[in-house]
Amino acid sequence: MRDDRSNPQFPRCSRTVPGELALGVRGAVISEVCRALVLMLILGGGACAAKTGAPAHSAPPTAATDPPPAADSTVAGVWEGTSTSNCESDPSDPGRCNAQQKITLTMFQQGNSITGFYKCAYGNQVCRHLNETGTIRDGKLKHTRLMFRVMLEDGSMCLFTGRPAANEFEGGYECLQGGGIIEQGIFQTRRTY
């Protein structure tokens, strides 16, 4: 059997005092890397816990496989603009054709996950079903596309999808209630803070 201590790629360690090792420069670097990895595993949980069968306390696997957002792709902030319902298909309320509201999206970002708050104010019509506030949930920033769900006071929800660029964010939305689409449209916002 070959003794790996004679192989130059492995650091040689000798005990100087009980519990301490005297390492060469290469060994000290390896030791620091090992400490950092152990610390990451303790604080982060996920990767090794999932492989060993231990319960993982990190994000769901899909979040772990999403690429990190680019350095300039932060969407955190306050976005103000308008939403305009369209007249396509068969809207549940034909009187809301081209209804425009002032909207404010306050978004918080942690990695690819987006949360926050939604506000609606009178434009050329009142907010749909007088829903003036909502909560942004399940937001995901994937590459350059942002998708999130706004949960409204009456139990309905609206799905917003768009591509933020610099300080502008526009796209489409679709509101659902009771399993059906009740409104669709477009939105345009600009980051103000």
Mind listing the pLDDT tens digit for each residue in 63-104? 445 544 444 468 999 999 999 999 876 666 778 889 999 999
Residue 174, helix vs strand vs coil: strand
Higher pLDDT, 143 or 101: 101
Structure tokens at 6: 């004679």
* pTM, to two decimals: 0.62
- Strand-pairing partners, residue 158, are 150, 175
Read off the pLDDT of residues 144-189 as tens digits, 9 standing for 90 and up: 899 999 999 999 999 999 999 989 999 999 999 988 899 999 999 9
Q: CB pairs under 8 A, 24+ apart, for 171-174?
A: 171/146, 173/83
Phi then psi for residue 47, to 5 deg, are: -60, -55
Q: Residue 14's beta-bridge partner residues?
A: 22
Which amino acid would we find at residue 30?
I
